[in-house]
Amino acid sequence: MNTTYRIVEQLDRETLKAFYLKMKLIRVFEERAGEQYMKGNIRGFLHLYIGEEAIAVGAISALRPQDYVATHYRDHGHAIVKGISTNEIMAELFGKATGCVGGMGGSMHLFDSSVNFVGGYAIVGGQMPISVGLGLAAAYKQEDRIALCFVGDGALQEGEFHESINMAAIWKLPVIFFCENNLYGMGVPVSESLAEKEIYKMADAYDVPSVQIDGMDVLAVHETMQDVVKYVGAGNGPYFIEAKTYRFRGHSMADAVSYRPKSEEDAWRPRDPLLQYRSWLREQRFATEDEIAEMDHAVEIQVEEAITFAEESPNPSLDAIYQNVYAN
């Protein structure tokens, strides 16, 4: 992390501490979700966000409540920061009726319109046309809203990316395309799957401004997002952000990560966003060791309560199979 940030003067001590609290909450939630998966309490696919927490916290914290977030299937962290309760998210992972989608969506399809979180999407790239539609609706209705669309590096190989960014550019729609580049599309490195290795430059073909940032630095992410939100919100059209990051776990729980060299993982470990930011808070005297320990403890309690809530919640009723369908 840097020693100085322009935005620090704009943020109070409690806000800076809250960034750590949110990142820690995502980390512990994901660790416990992985444990519950191994116990058989969570089924299907499970994609953990461990290592990428600075992006969700730094980016979404720069939005207004009315702004939309659409994302991919590694969506737990985004959902937490946008405001879905950890109880509802964990219950959804367990497939329980008290989940944010009534137990019908599971890990990859979190959704809550009350906080303008419009989904994780299991279809690779599926969130991009949706985000353009949200941007179009906001522009048509003359609403002061932005659609923040998270995508992985692998999704940029999909046709939806080119179609979506092209349409957003032509119509100057309020959409932020945010690429979380964790260097691998499942098990294939970006270096072997994309002709343009500097991903942010792909936006040049559509005359969309872009920037590459350190996705392991929550303040760098937040600082950039503040500027981009102002730019897009002023009616200037879409923006593309590439955040270089690294997932410390496999693509999914079924991934043994045999394709990554240990030397690469060892090189990224010191850049852990939580460890970096925790040290920065102490060094800059925005939080004491005791305050950090209190936040860590509060997070552990919150996640344990979420697990208990999920365990004790009822399964969906058989009648629920007829809900949310076009016709019975």
SS (H, E, C) 299-313: HHHHHHHHHHHHHHC
- What order do you get walking across the sheet with 210-214 strand by strand? 117-120, 68-71, 147-152, 175-181, 239-244, 210-214
pLDDT at 2 over 80: no
Rounded CA-CA distance 182/50 in Å is 11
Q: For residue range 236-286, what is the model confidence (pLDDT) as tens digits? A: 999 999 999 999 999 999 888 889 999 999 999 999 999 999 999 999 999
Domains belonging to the chain, first-starting first, are: 6-311 (3.40.50.970)
> What pTM was estimated for this model as a whole?
0.95
pLDDT at 3 over 80: no
pLDDT, residue 326, reads: 79
Average pLDDT over residues 120-129: 96
**Structure tokens that stand for 41 in this block:** 């309490």
Average pLDDT over residues 52-63: 98
pLDDT, residue 69, reads: 98
Rounded CA-CA distance 59/216 in Å is 12
Q: For residue range 292-321, what is the model confidence (pLDDT) as tens digits? A: 999 999 999 999 999 999 999 999 999 888
